[in-house]
Chains A and B, each alone.
Chain A
Amino acid sequence: MTSTTSTPLPAVDRPQPSATRGERGARRRIRKDLLRSRIAAWSAVVVIGAFGLLPVYWLLVTALSTPESTFQFPPKLIPTDLTLSNFTALAENDQLIKYMINSLVVASITAVLSVVVATYMGYSFSKFRYRGRRSLMHLVLASQMFPQALLLVTLYTVFSSFGMLNTYSALVLSFTTFTMPLCVWMLKGIFDTIPDALLEAAAIDGASRWRTLHSIVAPLAAPGMIAAGLFAFVRGWNDFIFALTLADKEKQTLPPGLVSTYIGEFQTAWPQLMAASLVVSVPVIVAFMFLQRYLVGGMTAGSVKS
């Protein structure tokens, strides 16, 4: 913005042919444009809305349907006999409750482990400058993009040779492969917003570096750490492939558990499966309602802006 030569302003008495008519025309055009863009916008919202939300409607309808009305063709788009029996059946299924407890345990431990480890790493990346820092950061970022299916094959052999298959530890560790990179980048973004002056002030007051981190920085970053933890929880809760492969019925989590419970070789219990799917989605939806605020910021911090 520092141009050395400033262009002279045009003379004031420059001829302005039919100023009022042109202006009125432009205004009319803008109004027409606005109307047209409103119409275009609403059409897009309606069409994409149908694509985006009708499946959700169908999820709800099926979850509330009786088995008889589900296996009717063509399906009734507006259901007449609704029932909650699919949900009550869930509550009575001990195996599903076990899967859910497994999911809660594994996703929670994953979240805590990821946040603790990522806090130190993110803090280091954010507040110190040292050789190799950028390479380490890139390594963390890139590790998020390695093929999971391949990683799984060798994690399986590693866990197998340590006798760790079908344990919570195997699930937690394997989930950490995709939650940690995310948390490191989110937390680095959060530490970046904490002014360096604060750390310097703490140092002048005689606080050690550990003390500064634990008693000054961490409390300030707490909301961000909770957000990162929720993200990690959700990712662990949603995982399918690792839990499917590394654990059996005893330690399996809900997503693969639903497959083994409901998807049969010949017939799938669709209403129950849809009801269970809704139940699986609830914690995630609740988490995201809390996370709304961090959503864009977190995503951009982790992947886009760096």
Chain B
Amino acid sequence: MAGKKISRREILGLGAVAAVGGALWHERADGKTHGGRAGQYQPAAARQKTAAAGRVYWEKSYSGGPVDVKPLPPGLPEKHYKPVVVPNGAALPFKVVDGVKVFHLIAEEVDWAFDAGLRAKCWGYNGRVNSTAIEAVEGERIRIYVTNRLPVPTSVHWHGFYLPNGMDGVGGLTQPYIRPGETVKYEWTLRQHGTFMFHSHHDEMTQMGMGLIGMFVVHPRKPAPEYHVDRDFSLMISEWAIKAGTARPNTLVMNDFNVLTINGKAFPSTAPLVCKTGDKVRIRLGNLGATDHHPMHIHGYHFRVTATDGEDIPLSAQWPETTVLVAVGQTRTIEFIADAPGDWAFHCHMTHHVMNQMGHDFPNMVGIKTGGLDEQLRPLLPAYMTMGHTGMDMGRMAEVMPYPKNTISMKGAAGPFGDYISMGGLFTVVKVRDQLKSYDEDPGWYKHPPGTVALKASDAELRRDGIDVNERTAAASGAERGHR
């Protein structure tokens, strides 16, 4: 490339050209970048049809093209799109004024319940924490008033959006702060669809840590048939440091987060994702936690990652997965056909992320001999009980032991078999049922067909299959040899 300067964009383009072998750049008449008025907005899907060989590989523009397209009429729920389901949350209401969809977002302090027994003073939007979603339709013009009822200045960044620079919401860089008591107007025309987010972009560590984050779902203007799903869930993931016995998130914490939430709720308070057998299910995942990435894993199914907050992933590029990593600041959309009835776990695979209010200063008690310890300690501390020596295998301890105020068990929820579900935090259940009264109602525990539950093996079974439960394992005999 000596002698001729080639831009990064061209290199990418060359790469793409090389990859498809002779595919052409998609040129459009109105393809001038960020210039003058460029006519009515044309959805990408329509644009694709005009592309050579029916495929678009790389757009000339990576910012949606001209800003001042003529907006399309506002799309309405049920009529133009099927609204997303926000478990434990709600979509922000809107009204249409002169062809513009108008929202009013209010940043304020919220006394938020993360789980029964754990509340904290957080900051949220419109009375909710992490669980206020904005929903709109590609091509429409939106106007979002943001009122600041916080004691501090704020701003809102529209994460993943093509928009005029001055609407980007970086406090101090692209706009003045929204000072306490002020209301600021954001307005632009949506030139994309997908799963996006919004969050404070002023003193992020504090304000996002206090809960100023949300999902922003934009439905396509002319959805392809495959866009249709029966269940479309929106899950926002975040993490918090709420020391046992306190009632305000500590945003100074960088690593030892102890409350992990989906739409602001920690398991067992996360609402189940209720589906009917055979439903096509979409789950939109967003992560605006402070530092942790979350490998979200589904049981019993595989799924396809169909979109990022960049764009839809072409069918040919989607690959099957059972775990999708949702890094900080990313959205990932997964889809699958829920054809297997049951109660299927869906959770972050980081084991510390399925715990609630872990204490990180507890000694490693696993495997110690406990005989006589309690007896020695009780004269001094009558309530003393040795803990942790069998690991964290406990139920809802907060229900049987006196706990600090406003503190929840590290994990555990009542389950269908009398044993506790030893999970917390980033854990929810996809409940798939043949029959459903309503999607809005928890159908209870799955009733397994006979013979399909792992239960204690009977002696007859053991005999039949020649299983000697007292047989020495190789490891045990090896260990014994090692001792000699």
A interacts with B: no
